[in-house]
């Protein structure tokens, strides 16, 4: 027997998130609270697929037409967490970006004390695609180090390193300049695990005193001022991702 075909359409929580109401997880909560209707009937489970022919309502209001996918460069300042909510009450990236962006998600994250390039998008599927290690995209950082270091020390990272059972892939680190115990280096890596650069530098006896991401794959921080956002034209990022034009026209054409 041939395998059963996949149900048409997308999961209802995904459709709600794409309309900019909330995240997919929060959309599932709305469903369980009985606040979502499909074609006039209250939805009981998030495991429901919908198509363009269905009418979805949240709190009795129909969903707005989903906007085409967009991508922005954001110069994240030091001292912001890359989450929508923080249990410690710290300032977040998403509370500080311009409101006209609507609801956006980040492509990966930057730590609280890490600055620099953070990509933002209104399409969660695009974000996940860009985050995958299979994309092969290199993340580039400028790192200020405290401690005695030579290029030979940094070259030890080129073959990868294991710390407390966690295996980190190859890291290319080039010493830019040193003065006493203070140095600057350019660090490139493919995967970017949580606090990876800080942990591997600590293994070398170094302290990271400043960390600035300058590139994520083909996208550069450039001269974008701290705290500012700039949209990347759709034709550029679609080309980099190998995505053809969608049914909706690109916003910049």
Catalytic residues: 111
Distance CA 31, CA 51 (A): 17
Distance CA 20, CA 11 (A): 15
Residue 159, classed as helix, strand or coil, is: helix
Distance of CA 77 to the CA centre of its chain: 15
In degrees, rounded to 5, the angle at the alpha carbon of residue 153 between the alpha carbons of residues 152 and 157 is 105
Closest CA to 58 of 92, 75, 33: 33
The string of DSSP codes covering 73-133 is EEEEPTT-BSSS--TT---BHHHHS-GGG-S-EESS---TTEEEEEEEES-HHHHHHHH-G
């Amino acid at each position: 027997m041939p395998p059963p075909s996949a149900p048409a359409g997308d999961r209802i929580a995904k459709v709600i998130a794409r309309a900019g109401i909330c995240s997919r997880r929060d959309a599932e909560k709305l469903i369980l609270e009985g606040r979502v209707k499909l074609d006039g009937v209250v939805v009981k489970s998030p495991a429901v697929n919908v198509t363009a022919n269905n009418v979805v309502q949240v709190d009795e209001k129909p969903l707005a037409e989903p906007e085409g996918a967009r991508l922005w460069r954001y110069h994240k300042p030091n001292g912001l967490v890359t989450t929508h909510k923080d249990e410690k009450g710290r300032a977040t990236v998403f509370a500080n970006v311009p409101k006209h962006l609507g609801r956006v998600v980040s492509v990966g994250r930057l730590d609280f004390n890490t600055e620099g390039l953070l990509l933002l998008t209104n399409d969660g599927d695009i974000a996940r695609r860009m985050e995958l290690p299979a994309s092969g995209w290199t993340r580039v950082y400028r790192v200020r180090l405290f401690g005695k270091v030579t290029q030979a020390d940094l070259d030890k990272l080129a073959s990868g390193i294991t710390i407390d059972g966690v295996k980190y892939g190859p890291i290319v680190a080039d010493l830019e300049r040193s003065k006493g115990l203070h140095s600057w280096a350019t660090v490139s890596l493919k995967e970017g695990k949580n606090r990876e650069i800080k942990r591997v530098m600590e293994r070398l006896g170094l302290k990271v005193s400043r960390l600035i991401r300058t590139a994520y794959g083909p996208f550069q921080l450039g001269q974008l001022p701290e705290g500012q956002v700039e949209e990347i034209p759709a034709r550029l990022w679609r080309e980099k991702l190998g995505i053809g034009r969608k049914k909706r026209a690109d916003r910049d054409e």
